[in-house]
């Protein structure tokens, strides 16, 4: 399965005239877990928000299959958006709805499934992230980590081809975080879901990522891309070495 | 991997021994499962007394919705010895199915809702009312103490904050105050003219406009504009800070939210409402003059009539009220903002409460002023 599902070409992005990242080129293959790495402020989340078409880029293209999400409008754009699911950093659950209702929302809007079917699917998605018993709770009634997992369940509601996860394991305990990695692995193998994950959790990166790109705020571009193990063992780029070594040091100290 | 054109089918297969067989085929996803859902349950019920095998060997693709269909069939309560089983679901889809234990998804009836007895609910409402009253009194006391403390140490005023708030509350509101003030004068003049012109007393329109605008409408309309523009903004701003735990951050830093956030707003409200009222008064009089012009009364005559009718007490009586209105608008806005509950809808609720609460208080305060001025003979 070596077909390109996302292709980013000469992408330059920024806010209000200030360039954050310039001239990015990379591809995401079908069925892989693709991680975007980088320190705080390197533009990881900004890049993700452009890849899902939330903000227009300053220049360049983002192809989701054959649709340029950067310039697509109307129903074309909608058909691209229905093929992706996004779990935001803060969860961004709708506070007035229970977790199950949050997951059901997309099903209600996009499919003709019977009510019972939507309810069962919502509960099954929540079961996948270990939250079945909290299906009828409001987001404010569960912990921050649970909200994040519920957000992932919501992103999976329509079984999207591509799941974008913005720091999915940040703020989770190690056990839950490892469970999340297993879930990503299962979905990748079982359904051929492609993942684009923004993260800086080294254990996760080595556990799940097939390929990574690393962003550097100083050059405002990609400093390295490839398999995480190769980057760790063979990169002579100081930024990359520092990222992997300092994190490794922090882990030993913990 | 979803396509609205996907299809799936369900049909009865040849029985194997004592077991009935149902064959599913095609593409099971969120679009194709809907039409199958009911049919599958019916097929299941019509074979209630025999073991049922679901033959999934002809399924090309199966995602979460398809798995839900299979789980739904397997979770249905069946008599012992007539269980439902799924056979030959291809890899990798079988692994998705194995993740779920159908027994865990048997729907349980929700626990009966406990209805609290009437006295308990009445008591709760009463207690809530008292709690809110207590909060308000405490807020007034706390604000008063903070203001006294700030006035005793003027360097404690966060001047830049106060100036920014004053700009947003005052300078930015000038265009709308100009517009409303002018139109208020115009409307009042026209309405008065209808009655007064029947007696040929056109000039007395000036009396009504001047007294009406300066004593009542100027301060009242300005305060209501402020309640809509700034009272709501204060409530939303402080409410969002509360939701984002910024208020908690201030408290844990040892900073009083009242001194930090409320005092600059109260000061801005106190000083700016009278200024805006003065502008509204002036524009109201000009609006009246414009209408009189159309009746053929020259501007000079109009203003001479206004001067002969209006005393300084009328002007300053109106302005004096607006000091109080400004404090009420800012105070209610801040109070509701600080009392915001959790979540985005709570911010909306406290904004509504701020606007409604301050308009009620403005009108109530205005009637108190009417009584006092009446007694004082102003």
- Give me the pLDDT at residue A254, please: 40
Which of B20, B5, B140 minimizes the C-alpha distance to B73? B20
Q: Which residue numbers of A have CB closer than 8 Å to B's CBs?
A: 82-83, 95-96, 107, 110-114, 116-117, 120-121, 123-125, 127-128, 132, 140, 156, 158-161, 186, 189-192
What is the share, in percent, of chain A residues with pLDDT greater than 90?
Answer: 6
Residues in chain B within 8 Å Cβ distance of A160: 2
B58 strand-pairing partners: B25
* Residue B33 tokens, joined: 């499962």
Distance separating alpha carbons of residues A99 and A150, to the nearest angstrom: 7
What are the start-end ranges of the E strands in chain B?
8-16, 19-28, 52-62, 84-87
pLDDT in tens, B183-194: 999 999 999 999
Q: What integer is the mean pLDDT of B223-235?
A: 95
**Among the three residues B42, B72, B105, which one is the final residue of a domain in this structure?**
B105
The number of angstroms, rounded, from the C-alpha of B363 to the middle of its chain's C-alpha atoms is 22
Q: Is the pLDDT of residue A196 over 80?
A: yes
On whether residue B69 sits in a domain, the answer given is yes
**Among the three residues B105, B135, B157, which one is the final residue of a domain in this structure?**
B105
Which of A175, A185, A98 minimizes the C-alpha distance to A130? A175
Q: What integer is the mean pLDDT of B207-234?
A: 95
- Assign residue B55 the CATH number of its domain: 3.30.750.24
On whether residue B110 sits in a domain, the answer given is no
* Residue A210 tokens, joined: 């097939």
pLDDT band, very low/low/confident/very high, at A253 (cuts 50, 70, 90): very low
- Give me the pLDDT at residue B127, please: 94
Is the peptide bond prior to B92 cis by the omega test (within 30 degrees of 0)? yes
CB proximity list for B253: less than 8 A, separation 6 or greater: none
Name which of B2, B33, B100 is nearest A124 (Cβ-Cβ).
B100
Strand-by-strand arrangement of the B19-28 sheet: B8-16, B19-28, B52-62, B84-87
Distance separating alpha carbons of residues A9 and B27, to the nearest angstrom: 34
Task: Say what the pTM is.
Answer: 0.70
Q: Is the ipTM of this complex over 0.90?
A: no
Q: Is the pLDDT of residue B202 over 80?
A: yes
- Give me the pLDDT at residue A157, please: 86
pLDDT band, very low/low/confident/very high, at B5 (cuts 50, 70, 90): low
Residues B96 and B167 in one domain: no
Q: Is the pLDDT of residue B200 over 80?
A: yes
Q: Is the pLDDT of residue A251 over 70?
A: no
pLDDT band, very low/low/confident/very high, at B81 (cuts 50, 70, 90): confident
Q: How high does pLDDT run on average in chain B? A: 89
Search chain A and give the residue with CA nearest B64.
Answer: A159
Count of H helices and E strands in chain A? 9, 10
Which of A172, A187, A126, A182 minimizes the C-alpha distance to A152? A126
On whether residue B129 sits in a domain, the answer given is no
Q: How high does pLDDT run on average in chain A? A: 84
The answer to whether the CB of B106 falls within 8 A of the CB of A204 is: no
Residues B65 and B177 in one domain: no
Nearest-CA distance B306 → chain A (Å): 53
Q: Name the more confident of B172 and A182.
A: B172
- Give me the pLDDT at residue B301, please: 93
Residues in chain B within 8 Å Cβ distance of A107: 30
Tell me which range, A66-75, B110-119, B280-289, is most confidently predicted by mean pLDDT. Answer: B280-289
Least confident range from A60-69, A137-146, B108-117: namely B108-117
Nearest-CA distance B344 → chain A (Å): 7
Residues B353 and B215 in one domain: yes
Residue A155 host element (H or E): helix A144-155
Search chain A and give the residue with CA nearest B341.
Answer: A140
Nearest-CA distance A113 → chain B (Å): 4
Burial of B307 (0-12, 13-18, 19+ CB in 10 A): exposed
Distance separating alpha carbons of residues A172 and A143, to the nearest angstrom: 10
Residues B223 and B272 in one domain: yes
Search chain A and give the residue with CA nearest B31.
Answer: A111
On whether residue B124 sits in a domain, the answer given is no
When divided into structural domains, chain B yields a total of: 2
Interchain proximity A132–B104, CB inside 8 Å:
yes
On whether residue B305 sits in a domain, the answer given is yes
Name which of A116, A117, A191 is nearest B96 (Cβ-Cβ).
A191
pLDDT band, very low/low/confident/very high, at B172 (cuts 50, 70, 90): very high
Q: Is the pLDDT of residue A37 over 70?
A: yes
On whether residue B2 sits in a domain, the answer given is no
Distance separating alpha carbons of residues A54 and A69, to the nearest angstrom: 9
pLDDT in tens, B317-374: 999 999 999 999 999 999 999 998 877 788 999 999 999 999 999 999 999 999 999 9
Residue A189 host element (H or E): helix A174-191
- Give me the pLDDT at residue B330, please: 95
Residues B89 and B15 in one domain: yes
Grouping H, G, I as helix, E, B as strand and the rest as coil, residue B26 is strand
On whether residue B343 sits in a domain, the answer given is yes
- Please give the residue range of the domain that contains residue B86: 8-105
Residues B150 and B264 in one domain: yes
Q: Name the more confident of A254 and B256.
A: B256
On whether residue B132 sits in a domain, the answer given is no
Ordered DSSP codes for B127-188? HHHHHHHHHHHHHHHHHHHHHHHHHHSGGGS-HHHHHHHHHHHTGGGHHHHHHHHHHHHHHH
CA atoms within 13 A on the CB side of B47: 23
Residues B168 and B101 in one domain: no
Q: What integer is the mean pLDDT of B26-52?
A: 84
Distance separating alpha carbons of residues B72 and B43, to the nearest angstrom: 13
What chain A holds in terms of domains, given with CATH numbers, is: 4-83+161-253 (3.40.50.300), 91-159 (no CATH)
Least confident range from B125-134, B158-167, B204-213: namely B158-167
Q: What integer is the mean pLDDT of A231-248?
A: 76
Main-chain phi, psi angles of A150, to 5 degrees: -65, -35
Nearest-CA distance A200 → chain B (Å): 25
Residues B359 and B242 in one domain: yes
Name which of A121, A140, A159 is nearest B2 (Cβ-Cβ).
A159
**Among the three residues B52, B84, B105, which one is the final residue of a domain in this structure?**
B105
Other CB atoms within 10 Å distance of the CB of residue B32: 22
Residues B59 and B151 in one domain: no
* Residue A235 tokens, joined: 């990169």
Nearest-CA distance B74 → chain A (Å): 12
- Give me the pLDDT at residue B6, please: 66
The answer to whether the CB of A64 falls within 8 A of the CB of A83 is: yes
User: Strands A67-68 and A59-64: what pairing?
Assistant: antiparallel
Residues in chain B within 8 Å Cβ distance of A121: 30, 64-65, 68
Q: Is the pLDDT of residue B289 over 90?
A: yes
Least confident range from B57-66, B227-236, B288-297: namely B57-66
In B59-86, which positions are buried (b, 16+ CB within 10 angstroms) versus exposed (e)?
A: bebbbbbbbbbbbbbbbeebeeeeebeb
The number of angstroms, rounded, from the C-alpha of B244 to the middle of its chain's C-alpha atoms is 17
């Amino acid at each position: 399965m070596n077909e390109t599902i996302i292709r980013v070409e000469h992408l330059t992005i920024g806010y209000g005239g200030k360039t954050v990242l310039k001239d990015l080129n990379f591809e995401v293959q079908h069925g892989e877990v693709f991680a975007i790495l980088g320190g705080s402020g390197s533009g990881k989340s900004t890049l993700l928000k452009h890849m899902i078409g939330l903000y227009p880029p300053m220049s360049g293209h983002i192809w989701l299959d054959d649709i340029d999400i950067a310039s697509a409008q109307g129903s074309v754009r909608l058909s691209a958006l229905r093929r992706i699911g996004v779990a935001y950093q803060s969860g961004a659950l709708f506070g007035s709805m229970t977790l199950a209702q949050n997951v059901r929302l997309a099903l209600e809007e996009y499919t003709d499934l019977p009510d019972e079917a939507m309810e069962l699917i919502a509960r099954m998605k929540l079961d996948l992230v270990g939250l079945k018993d909290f299906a009828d709770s409001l987001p404010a009634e569960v912990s921050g980590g649970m909200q994040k997992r519920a957000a992932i369940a919501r992103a999976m509601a329509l079984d999207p081809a591509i799941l974008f996860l913005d720091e999915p394991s940040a703020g989770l305990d190690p056990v839950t975080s490892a469970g999340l990695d297993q879930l990503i692995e299962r979905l990748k193998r079982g359904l051929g879901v492609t993942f684009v994950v923004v993260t800086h959790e080294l254990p996760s990166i080595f556990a799940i990522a097939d390929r990574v790109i690393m962003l550097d705020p100083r050059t405002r571009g990609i400093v390295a891309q490839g398999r995480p193990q190769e980057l760790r063992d063979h990169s002579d780029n100081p930024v990359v070495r520092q990222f992997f070594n300092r994190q490794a040091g922090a882990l030993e100290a913990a | 991997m979803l396509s609205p054109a996907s299809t799936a089918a369900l049909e009865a297969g040849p029985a194997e021994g004592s077991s009935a067989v149902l064959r599913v085929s095609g593409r099971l996803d969120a679009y194709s499962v809907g039409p199958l859902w009911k049919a599958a349950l019916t097929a299941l019920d019509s074979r209630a007394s025999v073991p049922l095998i679901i033959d999934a060997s002809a399924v090309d693709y199966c995602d979460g919705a398809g798995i839900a269909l299979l789980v739904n069939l397997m979770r249905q309560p069946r008599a012992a010895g007539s269980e439902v089983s799924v056979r030959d679901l291809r890899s990798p889809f079988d692994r998705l199915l194995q993740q779920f234990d159908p027994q865990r998804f048997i729907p349980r009836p929700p626990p009966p809702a406990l209805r609290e007895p009437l006295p308990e609910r009445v008591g709760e409402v009463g207690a809530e009312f008292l709690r809110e009253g207590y909060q308000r009194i405490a807020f007034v006391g706390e604000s008063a103490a903070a203001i006294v403390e700030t006035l005793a140490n003027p360097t404690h005023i966060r001047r830049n904050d106060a100036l920014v708030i004053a700009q947003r509350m005052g300078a930015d509101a000038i265009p709308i105050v100009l517009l409303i003030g002018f139109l208020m004068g115009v409307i009042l003049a026209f309405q008065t003219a209808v009655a007064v012109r029947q007696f040929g007393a056109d000039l007395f329109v000036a009396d009504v406009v001047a007294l009406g605008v300066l004593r009542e409408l100027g301060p009242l309309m300005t305060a209501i504009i402020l309640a809509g523009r700034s009272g709501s903004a204060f409530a939303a701003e402080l409410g969002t800070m509360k939701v984002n735990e910024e208020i908690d951050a201030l408290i844990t830093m040892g900073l009083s939210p009242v001194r930090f956030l409320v005092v600059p707003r109260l000061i801005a409200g106190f000083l700016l409402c009278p200024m805006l009222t003065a502008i509204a008064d002036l524009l109201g009089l000009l609006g009246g003059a414009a209408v009189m012009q159309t009746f053929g009364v020259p501007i000079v005559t109009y203003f001479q009539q206004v001067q002969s009718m209006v005393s300084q007490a009328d002007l300053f009586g109106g302005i004096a009220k607006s000091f109080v209105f400004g404090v009420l608008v800012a105070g209610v806005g801040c109070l509701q903002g600080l009392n915001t509950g959790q979540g985005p809808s709570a911010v909306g609720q406290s904004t509504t409460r701020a606007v409604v609460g301050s308009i009620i208080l403005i009108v109530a305060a205005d009637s108190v002023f009417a009584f006092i001025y009446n007694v004082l003979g102003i």
